[in-house]
Structure 1
Amino acid sequence: MRESGYLDAVRSSYDHVAAHYATLFNDELADEPMLRSVLALFAELVIAPGNVFAEDGSGLVSAGPGRVADVGCGPGHLAAFLRGRGLDVFGVDLSPGMIAQASATYPELRFEVGSMTDLDLPAESLSGLVAFYSTIHFPTPELPAVYGEFHRVLKPGAPLLLAFQAGDEPKHFTHAWDHDVNLTIHRRRPETVTNLLAEAGFRTMLTSVYEPPSRPGRPHAYVIAHRLP
């Protein structure tokens, strides 16, 4: 898939803020029980998938334990958390600056520069994939291709975890994290995401909307789905 031009602005912006961003977010999970719970549930589904049925109801489909990708991994703190939950996890990010931060902070983990629009992975090679606030810079018409790439690299039955800001209108930022940036966040309703996932070959298992106490009026959404055969 050819990379869209607007992703150049995303890459450049995150390269510019990478060092400061890492200092702000590397410890965020310590104060976010909801995030920890969602990530822990995802890890449980990877390790012990449970009752995941084929689309026709013919029987259980289990991806089994294996490699997991944190796509749009940023400074690597989520990958480190998932590693602590027993997953064989690695990180991918569009920003070389973010990958440098992640590699320096968590040298025991593998991180690589890459795009979720064209992952350098064989088909059906992953037992799980996390995209935590990393699909938010894609306009909605671009999501089917992104979700299609997630479907390609996941094994049948493997879980997918998405996190994003819930809402209707995009918001453009020219300044964030004490730096000048050029970023648009596309807020979406959970049903928009689950419908697109269904079209891409996923079945939604969980949808949750959460309004962090520190950010009233700014709901966040979490979706866990599994890849159908």
Structure 2
Amino acid sequence: MTATDVGAAYDARANEYIDLFGSVGQSAQQDRDTIERWQHGVDGRIVDAGCGPGHWSDLLAQGGTRDVTGVDASARFVEAARQRFPSPDFVLGDLAALPVASGSAGGVLSWYSIIHTAPAGVPAILGEFARVLAPGGSLLLGFFDDAAGAAFDHAVTTAYYWSADALGDLLAPHGFVVDRASARQDPGVRRQGDLVATLSR
């Protein structure tokens, strides 16, 4: 499935998605804690890759005190984010070809944004994350944690599980070193994972 296909799938359900998940307050407190803790260790600009309706970008922007660029393949999400959150810059784009200058970011947030990419396409996206990060930059990835590469039915479109070990193996050739990884099982939902990696070159 291409980025255009994923964007169109989310466009079709954008209003429903925003109503259910479009604010930080509707997200799990542990997700918010993880993202806030990570961003405090990031210097400079943050790229929210797969920003959806923009709520995490807004959190990261800290009321306009931090430069944040949100990128998403859904035109409806980008439009809604621009209307709802004035501080970040929101642009329509493909995670495999980010409209961001090389070496210009101190951090990349990819919060469940690679889940709809077939496993064969994920290395190119991770390479883009490495390209836009400055040396020493930090990546925070969120994902559904299970057998890496296994497909499952998602409410919007087909999605894929990952594991921290499998992602670490894909990140290493791009110069990333995994700093930490964690997973949790909340009641009634799929097992969730996240990892932080530093670009070592």
Do both share a fold (TM > 0.5)?
yes
User: For the residues of structure 2 that align with 1:227 and 1:107, how far apart are their CA atoms?
Assistant: 30
Kept in 2: contact 1:19–1:101 (CA 8 A): no
Kept in 2: contact 1:151–1:200 (CA 8 A): yes
Of residues 45, 52, 58 in structure 2, which corresponds to 1:80? 58
User: For the residues of structure 2 that align with 1:186 and 1:98, how far apart are their CA atoms?
Assistant: 22
Question: SS state of the match for residue 180, structure 2?
Answer: strand
Hey, what does 1:223 align to over in structure 2?
Answer: 195
Hey, what does 2:152 align to over in structure 1?
Answer: 171
Hey, what does 1:69 align to over in structure 2?
Answer: 47
> Which segments of 5 or more consecutive residues in structure 1 lack a partner in the other structure?
47-64
Kept in 2: contact 1:211–1:220 (CA 8 A): yes
Equivalent positions of 1:103-118 (< 5 A) are 103-118=82-97
Shift of the 7–90 alpha-carbon distance from structure 1 to 2, 3 Å rule, reads closer
Per-residue Cα deviation, 1:81-127 (whole angstroms, up to 9, x for no partner): 11228532121101101101111111332111011111122211111
State yes or no: 1:23 paired with 2:1.
no
Hey, what does 2:31 align to over in structure 1?
Answer: 35
State yes or no: 1:98 paired with 2:77.
yes
User: For the residues of structure 1 that align with 2:69 and 2:161, how far apart are their CA atoms?
Assistant: 27
Of all paired residues, the percent bearing the same amino acid is 31
Question: SS state of the match for residue 13, structure 2?
Answer: helix
Q: Which structure: larger Rg?
A: 1
Per-residue Cα deviation, 1:32-52 (whole angstroms, up to 9, x for no partner): 221011101211110xxxxxx
Shift of 1:16: 0.7
User: For the residues of structure 2 that align with 1:195 and 1:37, how far apart are their CA atoms?
Assistant: 26
TM-score (normalised: structure 1): 0.81
Hey, what does 1:150 align to over in structure 2?
Answer: 129
User: For the residues of structure 1 that align with 2:5 and 2:95, how far apart are their CA atoms?
Assistant: 16
> Which segments of 5 or more consecutive residues in structure 2 lack a partner in the other structure?
none
User: For the residues of structure 2 that align with 1:35 and 1:87, how far apart are their CA atoms?
Assistant: 20
Shift of 1:145: 1.1
